[in-house]
Amino acid sequence: MARVLITGVAGFIGSNLADRLLGEGHNVVGLDTLVHGVPEQVPKEVELRHGDIRSKEIYPFFQGIDFVFHLAAKNCIPDCQKDPVGTADINVTGTANIFDAARRAGVKKVVYAESAAMYEKIKTMPTPEDEVMPETFYGISKLCNHLFAKAYQQFYGLKTVGLRYFNVYGPRQDYRRTIPPVASAFIIKFLKGEQPIIFGDGTKRYDFIHVDDINDFHLLCIKDSRVDNRVFNLGTGKNYSILELYDIVARIMGSNLKPVHKPAPEDGAETSLADNRRAKEMGWLPKTNLEDGLRGMVDYVKNEFKKGNIK
């Protein structure tokens, strides 16, 4: 079994990944500042290290590590737009620092988060070969990460895998953001008996992929060398409008509340639909039906609400 380090282990994807890796028998070291992460989400079997991805003081944590999953980032697009310098500092400088710590420690492979936000304004199904021209500071920071990964491959022989996540949802999705992810926002509004908000007319379409399907590919990255030094789109290849998502959540929760429409913010996204053929060629297939995945998410958010974690 491998010894695996996860940055951002107290976050949404990181904590779910830690559960999966532990279930497969791997040893997991978690790195997190715990500024935004939720410590209660970190499995107790994880060796939790407190540290900032921008600091060279984290380098000793990489000794003896086989694989790194780098998930820590500043990732709320409106917040990134308001703070471009902070976005570059965390997402670009922090990622370069992770790559350097990994290469110094002789890590076998770094799997790092890119983003479908790199495809902003592309209306067709983008592929990893397409030239990307992101239009938000968040998307630009992820493009910089991609270029640093290629440079570390070229100059140091570091093996990396870039994953362009589409709209990941599931238990532990971060509902604390300035603008919460849409599924979480709908569920919370229904629980409070308030009308959910839809920005724009609700016809924009997004590719929603469950965190369990994402983690299936994460595990494949450990086992399969065919992914090395490549980039993959991770989405289902099917998209839904916000209105369709709203209807599914309302049906699950048995609510007749009608949404309130507000002007759409400029988030850079025209549509979202993954060309996931390259990932499928590795033997990966998304398995989670959207309605089934949302049912599990509703159960999770309801439980958080009962605990008093959602105000």
Tokens 């709203």 correspond to what residue? Answer: 246
H or E, element range at 143: helix 137-156
Distance CA(290)–CA(213), nearest Å, equals 11
Sign of CA dihedral 291, 163, 18, 21: positive
To the query of whether residue 175 is one of the catalytic residues in this protein, the response is no
Distance CA(282)–CA(285), nearest Å, equals 9
Tokens 């407190």 correspond to what residue? Answer: 50
- Maximum alpha-carbon separation in the chain: 58
**Contact between residue 110 and residue 159 where contact means Cβ atoms under 8 Å apart:** yes
- Residue 88 is classified by DSSP as I
Per-residue tokens: 161 = 């895998």
Q: Determine which one of 112, 138, 165, 246 is catalytic.
A: 138
- Residue 91 is classified by DSSP as I
DSSP 9-51: TTSHHHHHHHHHHHHTT-EEEEEE--SSS-GGGS-TTSEEEE-
Distance CA(263)–CA(81), nearest Å, equals 18
**C-beta atoms surrounding 311 within 10 Å:** 6
**Contact between residue 234 and residue 266 where contact means Cβ atoms under 8 Å apart:** no
The residues annotated with a catalytic role in the active site are: 138
